[in-house]
Amino acid sequence: NRAPMPLPGVGVVTFVLKDKSLLLGKRHSTNACDFAFGLPGGHLEFGESFEECGVREVKEETGLDIENVEFLTVTNNVFLDDPKPSHYVVIFLRAVPSDSTQAPQNLEPEKCGGWEWYDWDHLPEPLFQPLKTLIQTGFSPFPTNSNV
Ligand code: 8DG
Ligand code: MG
Ligand code: MG
């Protein structure tokens, strides 16, 4: 008669790339005065492809339309010691804005303090932990032989 084991969640997040910049949002955490910079993204819905989920979440959270959506990598993020323990398999995608002049909008102000383009060489701090961990491995979301 034990409680069922929780299952890991699946998150899909997207590096939206513009020149040498990427889109980051200031996430509010459960602790009201706490925040971290994260990518647009959310939970994979039943029946969705990774790309469909990435396009949908970027649109819902920022209003931006994206294209050239590509899978980059996947990480396993286990945070058992957090106040609210979590386990997410996170799919990282990259994409470019369909219209590079379109400005991001903060469509979920209860979750996010706003979206901005940040230069890859001057990323804001603190980064959301799973993103920080990935970047610390030397990972770059930019295509190797081009400026996006
Ligand atoms: P939804 O209801 O819109 O589906 O979900 P959401 O409220 O937008 O979920 P989210 O927290 O933005 O993303 C789901 C999980 O993905 C998040 O709790 C943990 C994981 N995740 C990472 N790294 C990142 C990241 O850089 N950005 C986002 N948005 N989520 C991330 O592990
Ligand atoms: Mg989200
Ligand atoms: Mg969302």
State pLDDT tens for residues 39-92: 999 999 999 999 999 999 999 999 999 999 999 999 999 999 988 899 999 999
Residue with tokens 């969640």: 9
Ligand 1 atom 29, closest CA: 41
Ligand 1 atom 21, closest CA: 11
Tell me, what's the ipTM? 0.92
Ligand 1 atom 22, closest CA: 130
Over residues 82-128, the pLDDT tens digits come to 888 999 999 999 999 999 999 999 999 999 899 999 999 999 999 99
- 15/2 Cα distance (integer angstroms): 40
Around ligand 1, the residues with Cβ closer than 6 Å are 11, 13, 38-39, 41-43, 57, 77, 88, 90, 111, 128, 130-131
**Token digits of residue 132:** 């920080």
pLDDT-derived band at 2 (thresholds 50, 70, 90) equals confident
- 87/136 Cα distance (integer angstroms): 20
